[in-house]
């Protein structure tokens, strides 16, 4: 099991607000902190763009940027989707469910507003797993090829949808801002030491 570097965050008016778990990490419902969170996200994005640029030059890769709207789909083409808004958050989830469902070390997730996400071809089938947060997690996959397309949702109606980064038409702009459930990470799962780590959900 891999132990990640801990990180904490504190709501300045914690008694008067509640934080969404997983599907709305970056947004506190208080308008008074919303502008600060937006600024923080821009600063993080700027730093990550710089790091991404340096990494691209080092490895000889062409740097690409996210364009709105962006699209993606499954391996066989039966499922296609489009998103018309910027991501709320990008992260890697290392929980055992994500390991099993991706047959890998983690699920690379791009969290977007639910109202901005739509299927343009096909219909997803869904798989549900218990959540330590509340209810059950909802993950959507292609019924034809089995590609996992969406996650980061709860069984009841969610305000956001998690898109698996590997299904993007251009996944090169995916830049994770945190690792979650590192308590379940495998010894061979090499994580970026520069981004925050959480044993389970962020506080």
173 located within any domain: yes
User: Which of 69 and 23 is assigned the larger pLDDT?
Assistant: 69
- The range of the structural domain enclosing residue 98 comes to 66-184
Asked if the model's pLDDT at residue 7 lies above 50, the reply is no
CATH number where 93 lies: 2.170.150.70
Tokens of 172: 């090169």
User: What is the b/e burial string over 131-165, where b = at least 16 CB atoms within 10 angstroms of the residue's CB?
Assistant: beeeebbbbbbbeeeebbbbbbbbeeebebbbbbb
146 located within any domain: yes
User: Which of 11 and 130 is assigned the larger pLDDT?
Assistant: 130
CA distance 110 to 152: 9
pLDDT interval class at 164 (50, 70, 90): very high
Asked if the model's pLDDT at residue 43 lies above 70, the reply is no
Q: What is the pLDDT of residues 83-142, one digit of tens each?
A: 999 999 999 999 999 999 999 999 999 999 999 999 999 999 999 998 887 788 899 999
130 located within any domain: yes
Nearest CA to 88 out of 169, 26, 18 is that of 26
131 located within any domain: yes
Mean pLDDT of 35-46: 47
37 located within any domain: no
Split into its structural domains, the chain has a count of: 1
Q: How many helices (H) and strands (E) does the chain have?
A: 2, 10
Q: Alpha helices of the chain — where are they, by DSSP H? A: 31-59, 96-102
Predicted confidence at residue 36, as pLDDT, reads: 41
141 located within any domain: yes
Asked if the model's pLDDT at residue 187 lies above 50, the reply is yes
CA distance 144 to 69: 26
21 located within any domain: no
86 located within any domain: yes
């Amino acid at each position: 099991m891999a132990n990640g570097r801990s990180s904490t965050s504190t709501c300045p008016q914690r008694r008067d607000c509640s934080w969404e778990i997983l599907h709305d990490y970056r947004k506190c419902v208080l308008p008074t902190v919303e502008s600060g969170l937006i600024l923080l996200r821009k600063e993080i994005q700027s730093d990550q763009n710089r790091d991404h640029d340096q990494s691209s030059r080092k490895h000889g890769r062409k740097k690409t940027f996210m364009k709105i709207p962006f699209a993606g789909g499954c391996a066989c083409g039966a499922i296609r989707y489009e998103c018309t808004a910027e991501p709320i958050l990008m992260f890697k989830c290392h929980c055992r469910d994500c390991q099993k469902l991706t047959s890998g070390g983690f699920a690379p997730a791009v969290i977007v507003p639910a109202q901005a996400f739509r299927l343009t071809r096909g219909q997803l089938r869904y798989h549900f797993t218990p959540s330590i947060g509340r209810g059950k997690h909802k993950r959507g996959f292609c019924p034809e090829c089995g590609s996992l397309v969406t996650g980061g949702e709860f069984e009841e109606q969610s305000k956001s949808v998690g898109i698996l980064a590997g299904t993007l038409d251009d996944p090169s702009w995916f830049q994770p801002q945190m690792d979650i459930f590192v308590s379940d990470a495998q010894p061979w799962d090499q994580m970026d030491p520069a981004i925050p780590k959480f044993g389970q959900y962020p506080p």
